[in-house]
Amino acid sequence: MDRNIRTVEDVLKLLDDLFVPGADRWTGDAAAWWDGFYADRSRPVPFFVAKPDENLVSYLDRGLIAPGRALDLGCGPGRNALHLASFGFQVDAVDLSPAAIAWAEERAREAGADVRFRCGDAFPLAATALGGPYDLIYDSGCFHHLPPHRRISYLALLDQTLAPGGHFALTCFAAGDGGGSQLPDAAFYRDARLHGGLAYTPESLRWIFSDLTEVELRRMHDEPPQSPYFGEAFLWTALFRRDAEAPAD
C-alpha cells in the first residue's frame, strides 16, 4: 500500500504518471521521444531551419528588449539562442533532448557563438544548474507541450528566475488554426495524452500570465521560405514584462 503524497511536487509527479507511458511527448521517456524526433535533420520540419523567430528579431529591432542574461527554454537546435548570442546576450539554453543539444552545440561551434547549453528538465535545473536571474526568458514551442498541471511548475520557474524589469517572450499554438488541441484541460487526463500539444487563446494566455505586464500579443507573421526569419501564422507570439520591484520604504 503506497502513501507517497506529501508535497505539491509529489502531486505533480502523480499527475505526470496518469498519462500512458510512451503514448505522448510528455510521458514515458520524453528525452528519447524527442531524440527520435530530431534524429533525421533533413526532415521538412519548419523549426529545424537555422532561422530566428521573426517576433524575436522584431523585439530587438524595436528596442523592446536589450542585451543581458537570457534563458532559452526548449531551445531545440539552438536557432534563437544563437541569434540572441549574436546580439551580445549571455545565453543559457535548455532542452530535454541530447540530440537537440548536440545539434545546437554544432551550430554554435560553426557560428563561433558562446552559448551555455544544458540538457535536462528545466524545472529542476532552475533550482540547481541555471544561473539566473534572467533579463529575458524566451520560449519558442516548449510551453504548449506541457500538461496543464505543469503550468504551476512553469510559473514557479518564471517567478524564480525572471529578473525584476525582465521580459518573458513566448510562441505557442493558437486556438482555431489546427496547430494544437482545443480540448478543455480535464479532457487530457481522461484521454491520457496531450494530442500533440495544447492550443491557447489570447484570453487564456493573459490569464495564465496575469502576474506579468503585457507588452505585445499577436499572431506570428507567416514568413515565406526565402525569408531569413522563421514565422508560422498558427502561432501566437507574446511579450510580457515583470514589473520592477518597488523600493522599500
Write out 148-160 in H/E/C secondary structure.
HHHHHHHHHHHHH
Condensed to tens digits (0 to 9), the pLDDT of residues 161-206 reads 999 999 999 999 999 877 899 999 999 999 988 888 999 999 999 9
Share of the chain above pLDDT 70, in %: 94
Please report which residue ranges of 93-169 form alpha helices under DSSP H.
Answer: 98-111, 122-128, 151-161
The pLDDT of 51-55, averaged and rounded, is: 97
Within-domain flag for 104: yes
pLDDT (0 to 100) of residue 244: 84
**Which are the contacts of 213, defined by CB distance < 8 A and separation ≥ 6?**
240, 241, 242, 243
Structural domain for 221, as ranges: 15-241
Q: Tell me whether residue 56 is exposed, middle or buried, using C-beta atoms within 10 angstroms of its C-beta: 0 to 12, 13 to 18, 19 or more.
A: buried
Beta-bridge partners for 174? 200
Domain for residue 119, yes or no? Answer: yes
Residue 148 preceded by cis peptide, ω within 30: no
- The total number of structural domains in the chain stands at 1
What letter does residue 237 receive in the DSSP assignment? E
The answer to whether residue 7 is domain-embedded is no
Whole-number pLDDT of residue 160: 93
- Which pLDDT value is given to residue 20? 58
Residue 248 lies in a domain: no
| CATH number of the domain to which 225 belongs | 3.40.50.150
Question: Is 202 inside a domain boundary?
Answer: yes
Q: What is the pLDDT of residue 227?
A: 96
**Would residue 6 count as lying in a domain?**
no
Confirm whether 136 is domain-assigned.
yes
Residue 98 domain flag: yes
Mean pLDDT, residues 108-123: 94
- Cα separation, 123 vs 74, whole angstroms: 11
